[in-house]
Homo-oligomer: A and B are copies of this chain.
Amino acid sequence: MDPEAFLDVANQVIKLKMFPFFDIAHSLLAALAVREDLGANAQAFSRKHPLACWLSTMLVIFAGGMVANGLLGEPILAPLKNTGQLLVGTAVWYIVFYTPFDIGYKVAKFLPVKIVASAMKEIYRAKKVYDGVGHAAKLYPNAWIIMIIIGTLKGNGAGFTKLIERLIRGAWTPTAMEFMQPSFYTKASLLASIIFVLDKKTDWISAPHALVYFGIVIFLVYFKLSSILLGIHDPFLPLENLCCAIFFGGIWDSLAKILGRGQAKDGDSKDVKKTN
């Protein structure tokens, strides 16, 4: 591909308008996630508790903005002032849960629809991470960690509000904490945030700005599609295991064990360094 043309595409991707099509895709996947989280009970629940159902879907849709606002001292409800997004979200929620004969849900679950929506959602995610990093950078120009946290939260807000979202529906699962077993989306958003921060604040990345953004979009879409089509769920795992072995005690634990001074109570320390 001609580099010039490639840069052109990148410049167009960075300027893509998100509303309404990307919002529809995002809302659709959010509503599906809520419905799947409810399990076999979903339909009965949606009939009995429409309010809780609607609220938890809205929380999933607006999670990133709400959590980021909450942590930055801005109004948590502010994302709801975007009436267009709210209406799109409500319409999609209604279609997924209440259409006659469940047609809406069945169409949404249809593989090609799901693939297109997922790809669009990843493009949206890149934009959210980018906006989150930019917003935090405006407030705290020197606090890299805040930029990275906000970028990650904007990228995968729903992962971090899962506990509250379930609580709205009367279920409490304290062990399903995102920090304990970060999902691929959290890790990818974290990586994207770090790259955007480096691109913004240092000279280490010499590529044009639009290319960096486009690269992250491609990375996110590529692994999302791999995950749906090929079942590859976490390409970060080998890297993490290596990192854990070097920095977080793996090698030293093994060494201590060989020297006969290993902590017996920790069991086989090789087994435990699996996930982040």
Q: Which of A1-9, A115-123, A169-177, A213-221 faces chain B?
A: A169-177
Is the Cβ of B71 less than 8 Å from the Cβ of A75? Answer: yes
Q: In the complex, which of the residues B44, B146, B249 contacts A269, with contact meaning CB atoms closer than 8 Å?
A: B44
Could you say which residues of chain B place their CB within 8 Å of the CB of A50? 244, 248, 276
Are B76 and A73 closer than 8 Å at their CB atoms?
A: yes
Tell yes or no: A261 within 8 A of B by CB: yes
Interface flag for A77 (CB, 8 Å): yes
Known contacts: A52-B179, A52-B180, A269-B44. The answer to whether A172 contacts B170 by CB under 8 A is no
The reply to whether the CB of A12 lies closer than 8 angstroms to some CB of chain B is no
Are A98 and B247 neighbours in the complex by a CB distance under 8 Å?
A: yes
Interface string of A149-171 (1 = CB under 8 A from B): 11000000000000100011111
- Closest partner residue, chain B, to A176 (CB atom): B170
Complex interface: chain B residues within 8 A of A17 (CB): none
Inside 8 A of A255's CB, which chain B residues have their CB?
A: 100
Closest beta carbon of chain B to A238's beta carbon, Å: 16
Query: Taking the complex as formed, is A253 at the interface, i.e. its CB lies under 8 A from any CB of chain B?
Result: yes
A273 contact set on B, CB distance < 8 A: 47-48
B83 touches A249 (CB 8 A): no
Residues of B within 8 A of A168 (CB): 177, 179
**Which of the 9-residue segments A26-34, A137-145, A201-209, A224-232 touches chain B?**
A137-145
A interface SS class: helix
* A44-B266, A174-B171, A266-B43 given; A51·B98 CB < 8 A: no
A76 vs chain B, min Cβ distance (A): 5
Contact A244 B75 (CB under 8 A): no
- Which chain B residue shows the least CB distance to A86? B145
Partner of A101, one of B80, B97, B248, B252: B252
Q: Report yes or no: B73 in contact with A274, Cβ–Cβ below 8 A.
A: no
Given that A55-B179, A252-B100 are contacting pairs, would A272 and B76 also be in contact in the complex, using a CB cutoff of 8 Å? no
- Contact among B48, B97, B171 for A275, CB-based, below 8 A: B48
Q: Does any Cβ of B come within 8 Å of A183's Cβ?
A: no
With contact pairs A75-B139, A139-B75, A143-B83 given, residues A51 and B179 touching in the complex (Cβ less than 8 Å): yes
- 5 further contact pairs, Cβ within 8 A, besides A47-B273, A48-B274, A70-B76: A43-B263, A44-B266, A44-B272, A83-B142, A98-B249
19 contacts between A and B (CB under 8 A): A44-B266, A46-B248, A47-B250, A47-B272, A48-B272, A49-B276, A51-B182, A51-B276, A52-B179, A55-B179, A71-B76, A77-B146, A77-B149, A80-B143, A97-B249, A98-B249, A168-B179, A170-B174, A172-B172
